[in-house]
Structure 1
């Protein structure tokens, strides 16, 4: 939705080719396979890794791709197809908001029978959260703060619990239905973004609220690690001030141009700031595995069920109603909206 509302930074425009069909979260069936494909078949139920890195561009792997960091590929504007960070931002590929899209054989992930379509369509966003957690795991008994009760924030919570990481998790959310979802997935504390949220968050994190001469409250103490999943000025500011000295902030929200962020806490408290984009390879049970394969395996084992987070389903013809629904989350208790394409392909909105 950031794209539709023009909230994304133009700095990503060199990695997009116009016109393109939006949508990179999808579950569906293979309609046609290429002549060089031997492990996939027509009718097979799949999800897609949409990252357009070296292999999908018919290029020799760059250093990032060689070490398993396809999301950091330096060739997303080169090769045999036009520029595009992902399927859904490339002219050649199509996107999940259409009836069909094309993908390289390396991007295809078959779905086991244990993973239904409603979880399948959420493999991609869950993999974003899973990648962030696997690359930046809390230590045992850490205090963790997740800012944002949307799909990504809740997915971070689910990932932490599915990986059996023993930590205390506080969720800072905006709406009551987000808080109820967080509670159902095992959050230890829920704080709502109201007039008293600063003091309440500090209390839960055993931190102290200090008053500067002018300006917003200063927090002494806080969480050992904060996952910021909103990407707004206010949420970025909160992520910095609610992090304990020597702690870490992981930025998952699609932060763009921020004009009024006070970065004092970063140097004063020697914070570590980590960005996180998409997914790559991560260590899981002693092996280096594609993040999406880990996500699918956790779903197959029954440790992850995100289907309750899909609150609204629309046909693509009803896209205006879908967008209207998303824009009024509080009134409609919206967590995730998807499109159904003749019951064969689900694309997330």
Structure 2
């Protein structure tokens, strides 16, 4: 009898210990984050996506108290990195700094993922887009390039077929009956290198990437697709409407913080609060402005339920205008 009693007491103690340990583990798991976070982007080091990634990471580290490690995964105009994130473990430790390429990849029929595989945490910023040439280019103005492209195809580099940056140029080229030869590259860093090496006569990229090169006298910005002052550029640079008219097809370039689908709700909430706080930080806003990027916070629910659905028909129209889809 005593032996049985001792056995049951021992079992009870062991069960209690297991319950306590399990409770402690659950509590520990709920404390997010507790280890470094990987922040993936679609472009190699040197492009706007990489630099913006590092700025985000710096402010996220300050708020979250853990390291945020940049992870550059170029290729496919963003399709490679989006596919990677869509299959990543949904624990909040692998995130993405993505643009609208996550949508365009699907519309192009090239994606290996669905939007349902992703969870947009927030829109964080908007990038300007420019058409640029080497500083010693014979194209002194955008009208010079347009005149040349009316006669013979003009090559231009772009950061990937699924990027909105490329689509903006492709759509307006078709709209204006310009003869062009698009040259896809693995990010804006490659576009700039090709321009400076005189391998291509023109290129499209973000104002973020082009601005420093223009200030250093290495590139000349012929046109801004956006109102130039709004993205920190010289206001004398002609914008899309001034060059091609108000009916020219166009769309803004947004950047988002994204997680894999099925990331725990409590983790998403932590990240949303973090990004909302960062977006209001005067230092963050000023740093983005210095880099020709506009801070723009929109919560993920609004982005997924309203903004992305509203953008899809516009993207489709631009892609049709560019001859990318039927």
Please identify which structure carries the higher helix content.
2
Larger radius of gyration: 2
Q: Which has the higher contact order (CA 8 A, sep 6+)?
A: 2
TM-score (norm 1): 0.26
